[in-house]
Amino acid sequence: MRALGLLAVVLCGGGCARETFPAAAPQAGHAPGSLHAFAAPPPGAVPLSAQPHYAALAAPPMAGVVAPAALPPPPMSRPDVPQLSSSEIPSGDACLAELARTSVTHHRLDEKRGITTPVEVTGKIGGIHFGSPLVADCRFVLALHRVAPVMAVLGVTAVRFSGAYSYRMSRVGRLSLHAYGLALDVHEIRFGAAWHSVERDFSRGLADGCAPTSPPMNQLACRLKATRLFKELLTPDYDSDHANHLHLAIAPTDAPKWEAVPKKRPAAPVKLELPPPAPDEGEPTVEPEEPPPPRLEPKTAKPKPKAKPKPTKPAKHRPRAHRPRPLAS
């Protein structure tokens, strides 16, 4: 046992003696003003990072590796919808003639304040049932008929609304498009066999409402907006006044009554300035002499008017003292 221990000591000592360390390894020292520090390497020493022992420990550089860039935002969904324009919808008799060629059950109304061509719809518009009779301008009914196929793609079969024609002012002090019969406030929509409410089923703040994963109410609003048919398409994302309905409105063809047309001012008459007459060549021109300055007369003090005597009030008559009458004898 003692021989084995001596053999182990000899082998360990030989292995440790054969191990080499860098010549410029840091040595413990105490720099002035410091408790623990390494002594400065001697002049001409090779840096540790350049020695073979330490250079082999460094990780090799990775060629062709580029830092990952920020991922671009996902592209917005583009619905496949036709591009419509409300300016192409006629008005007046031409609108009634085109509406008569459709399957919309309607009849013309007498004059309605604000509406150019008032009609009342009692049947479906483009296969969509609107519940109660709809009073609106003929142009707006044609607009709903043209956009009905876009709604039918999502399975829309019926619509419940609260207001269409209503002669009222908007919050900004102008006539609302409801007053022209060109707007509709939709509260509930039937997709297939299920009714969806705008207040309950519209998700606010969605970045991509047209995505297939979005709620049907958001997809419908996004698809209607993509047609560019409506001048105003307001959702619950707009403000708190539209938290429970979708506001759909088209632009009027003529200038609205609330738009003030600036009057043209008449042009100011042009004054013709004639040149001064040329002097007669036969007579020399003589400049007129300047008139002498006027004489300043000394100001005389004006006599003050005499003060008028104030009228005196007559003295009040004092009644005579009450005298006792003499008694009759």
pLDDT tens per residue across span 9-68 = 555 555 544 445 454 545 544 555 555 555 566 676 666 656 665 555 666 666 666 666
- Assign residue 230 the CATH number of its domain: 3.30.1380
Among residues 252, 256, 232, the alpha carbon closest in space to that of 242 is found at: 232
Within a domain: 319: no
Q: Look at residue 73 in the predicted model and tell me its pLDDT.
A: 72
Q: Which has more pLDDT, 76 or 317?
A: 76
Residues 6+ apart with CB under 8 A from 216: 154, 155, 189, 191, 196, 201
Q: Identify the band that residue 144 occupies on the pLDDT scale cut at 50, 70 and 90.
A: very high
Please check whether residue 226 lies inside any domain of the structure: yes
Q: Is residue 299 part of a domain?
A: no
Asked if residue 47 is part of any domain, the answer here is: no
Supply the pLDDT for residue 7.
Answer: 59
| Domain assignment of residue 134, yes or no | yes
In a domain, 163, yes or no: yes
Domain of 145? Answer: 86-249
Q: Residue 280 above 90 pLDDT?
A: no
Please report the pLDDT score of residue 172 as a whole number: 80
Is 275 part of any domain? no
Whether the CB-CB separation of 136 and 165 falls below 8 Å is answered with yes
pLDDT, residue 274, reads 55
Contacts 24+ apart (CB under 8 A), 278-284: none
Classify the C-alpha dihedral 127-128-130-134 as positive or negative.
Answer: negative
| Residue 146 belongs to a domain | yes
Percent of the chain with pLDDT over 90: 48
Cα within 13 Å of Cα(50), Cβ side = 4
- 131 falls in which pLDDT band (50, 70, 90)? confident
Question: pLDDT value at position 308?
Answer: 73
119: nearest Cα among 108, 134, 104: 108
The mean per-residue pLDDT over the stretch 147-176 comes to 92
Give the Å distances, CA to CA, from 100 to 106, 122, 141.
Answer: 8, 14, 11
pLDDT of 159 above 70: yes
Answer whether residue 201 shows pLDDT above 90: yes
pLDDT at 5: 57
Domain total in the chain: 1
Answer positive or negative: Cα dihedral of 240, 244, 250, 252. Answer: negative
Mean pLDDT over each residue of the chain, to the nearest integer: 78
Among 205, 96, 224, 213, which Cα is nearest to 159's? 224
pLDDT of 254 reads 67
CA atoms within 13 A on the CB side of 31: 8
Cα dihedral 116, 122, 128, 129, rounded to 10, equals 130
113 vs 262: which has the higher pLDDT: 113
More confident residue, 236 or 323: 236
To which residue do tokens 């001012």 refer? 265
Q: What is d(CA 71, CA 220) in angstroms, rounded to the nearest whole number? A: 29
Q: CB-based burial of residue 158 (10 Å sphere; 0-12 exposed, 13-18 middle, 19+ buried)? A: middle
pTM, rounded to two decimals: 0.57
